[in-house]
A and B are shown apart, each in its own frame.
Chain A
Amino acid sequence: MTNPASNDAAIAKEIAKDLGLKGFGAAQYAICLKGVVWREALRFLHQRERFVSALVRPLVWLFIFAAGFRSVLGVSIIPPYDTYVLYDVYITPGLMAMIQLFNGMQSSLSMVYDREMGNMRTLLVSPFPRWFLLTSKLVAGVAVSLLQVYAFLLVAYFWEIEPPSPWGYLTLAPALILSGLMFGALGMLLSSLIKQLENFAGVMNFVIFPMFFTSSALYPLWRVREGSPWLAFACELNPFTHAVELIRFAFYEQINPFALAVVLSAAIVFLAAAIRAYDPSRGMLVRREGL
């Protein structure tokens, strides 16, 4: 199978032709982003069990947990609510955030550990800049989390949980995009940092549950403060709390500026840290001996 010398010359010519710098144009960046989002959506639609569990999890909380506490826990009038609300109305924004937190952890970590093993390699060997690839992956995860949240809200609608006006569904979207980015970036950061969390159960125990319970998702902060000022303080430090409040206000067509600032900053910090963690020369992959 040796190449004859004449063949070599032809090859040399062809290679020389290809050696010019090409770079990528904006259209090609768009193709790449579209491709990553499209694949994530396809995967999500093909994995029916993932879709079902993403929907069932918050619905269990809503139908069983919240229904049980409905009469026990009344929520007093706190913004953005201008009247007494039932407990299941109060808990809904927290459940939306929970959907996104699960999705953010799942889409990043499964890429590294689960049966998707190796797909992070496929992504990172693309010639596009790494920050762009990671951000595209995040955007794809956020798109899927939006699908999940709105599917949940559709079911919740029939449980008579709805925003004061249909506009709430629209004003909700930017808040969800922002919180989705924050959770996705956090998941991506964790996927690069933590080698020991080899399975999702570990992430549930050490990330998802603490974040979810130490927040304003299940009970208003003033109520927590009555019980334990320290716990309330921990809740205020938890970015999940602010994502929940951002979503809660957006669902009522309002902006919570403080929550917005916290979620935006946290998203930027997590994303920057994730991009750095995946940096070929300064990142964590070297220390971990690869993926």
Chain B
Amino acid sequence: MTSVTPERHNGVAAALEVEGVSHSYGRRKALDNVSFSVGPGRFAVLLGLNGAGKSTLFSLITRLFAAQSGAICIFNWDVSRAPGEALRRLGVVFQARTLDLDLSISQNLAYHAALHGIGGREAKQRAREVLEQVEMADRADDKARDLSGGQIRRVEIARALLHRPKMLLLDEPTVGLDIRARADILLHVRGLVAGEGISVLWATHLIDEIEASDDVLVLHRGQLIDKGNVGEVASRAGAADIGAAFAKLTGAGRAEDAR
């Protein structure tokens, strides 16, 4: 079995395990035998250009639809066989903004709590906690419409944490944000990894969001062409840094992708 950082699992199930997953839309192969795992408390970057298969992979992990072959497990719960148990251990931030703009922040969070079977005082208490975590507690009664793009993202992260998952999935969470808001979101999520041992799968095509200690998964045209820690991937590609390695592996122009 392949694993990004097996030595870190300490005998515990991987937070996320993707094993031999393939998926096609008609004749077009979107994912081809993709295998990787994200260990507990790890920050893993899923690096790929648009069309690499990131969205398909996220749809499969969140069980929007099922993989045609292979298996996906969240803390050993198979997404196909025990979807409820798998999904309740997973927090998701979608690429599209999914807050209800007409409702207030706390109403949005209450809805999400209900979708996880959490109601009443418990839901309110948790909403307060997660909003404090992302420093948005003072905006609880504001309508989502009145927030900036970066603030909406922070609330979406808070929402994803509400049911206390140990695995967080973020699909290009910094798209459309300015540089400061991007840095801010990254800082918050990295704080969760360091402080609470939450595992993160962070999909992006922006090289500068990667740190030296991260695990990197390079997805290109549906295939996982390399995985490992940042240094390994760079040296295997014979490149000076991960940006050059990504450009080399995907044939992408460095300048446009590294920003």
**Does chain A bind chain B?**
yes
Binding site for B on A (CB under 8 A): 1-3, 7-12, 14-16, 18-19, 21-25, 27-29, 31-32, 34-36, 38-39, 42-43, 46-47, 115-119, 121-129, 133, 280-281, 283, 285-287, 289-291
Q: Which residues of A contact B3 (CB under 8 A)?
A: none
Q: How long is the Cα–Cα vector from A127 to B89 in the complex, in angstroms?
A: 9
Q: List 17 A-B contacts (CB under 8 A).
A: A1-B193, A1-B194, A10-B197, A12-B10, A12-B40, A14-B197, A15-B12, A29-B117, A35-B113, A39-B103, A42-B102, A42-B103, A43-B102, A46-B102, A126-B116, A127-B88, A281-B66
Q: How long is the Cα–Cα vector from A96 to B190 in the complex, in angstroms?
A: 53
Taking the closest CB of chain B, its distance from the CB of A7, in whole angstroms, is 7
Of A25, A119, A133, A280, the residue contacting B98 (CB under 8 A) is: A119
Is the CB–CB distance between A39 and B107 below 8 Å?
yes
Q: How long is the Cα–Cα vector from A283 to B59 in the complex, in angstroms?
A: 14
B60 nearest CB neighbor, chain A only: A280
Is the CB–CB distance between A47 and B64 below 8 Å?
no
Q: Which residues of B contact A287 (CB under 8 A)?
A: 25-26
Q: How long is the Cα–Cα vector from A118 to B94 in the complex, in angstroms?
A: 8
Q: How long is the Cα–Cα vector from A7 to B85 in the complex, in angstroms?
A: 25
Of A8, A11, A29, A280, the residue contacting B65 (CB under 8 A) is: A280
| Interface assignment of B84: CB less than 8 Å from any CB of chain A | yes
Of A19, A38, A129, the residue contacting B76 (CB under 8 A) is: A19
| Interface assignment of B87: CB less than 8 Å from any CB of chain A | yes
The proximity string for B residues 161-178 relative to A, scoring 1 for CB distances below 8 Å and 0 otherwise, is 000001000000000000
Instruction: State whether A125 and B92 are in contact (beta carbons under 8 Å apart), knowing that A1-B43, A290-B59 are contacts in the complex.
Output: yes
Taking the closest CB of chain B, its distance from the CB of A139, in whole angstroms, is 13
Instruction: State whether A7 and B197 are in contact (beta carbons under 8 Å apart), knowing that A12-B10, A280-B66 are contacts in the complex.
Output: yes
Is the CB–CB distance between A19 and B94 below 8 Å?
no
The proximity string for B residues 87-123 relative to A, scoring 1 for CB distances below 8 Å and 0 otherwise, is 1111010101110111100010011111111111000
Taking the closest CB of chain A, its distance from the CB of B118, in whole angstroms, is 7
Is the CB–CB distance between B112 and A127 below 8 Å?
no
A14 nearest CB neighbor, chain B only: B197
Q: How long is the Cα–Cα vector from A118 to B99 in the complex, in angstroms?
A: 9
Q: Residue among A16, A47, A280, A281 with the most chain B CB within 10 A?
A: A280
Q: Which residues of A contact B193 (CB under 8 A)?
A: 1, 3
Q: How long is the Cα–Cα vector from A280 to B82 in the complex, in angstroms?
A: 13
Inter-chain pairs besides A3-B41, A15-B75, A24-B117, 18 sampled, C-beta below 8 Å: A7-B197, A8-B40, A14-B166, A23-B84, A32-B116, A35-B113, A35-B115, A36-B111, A42-B102, A118-B98, A119-B98, A121-B64, A125-B90, A128-B84, A280-B66, A287-B25, A287-B26, A289-B56
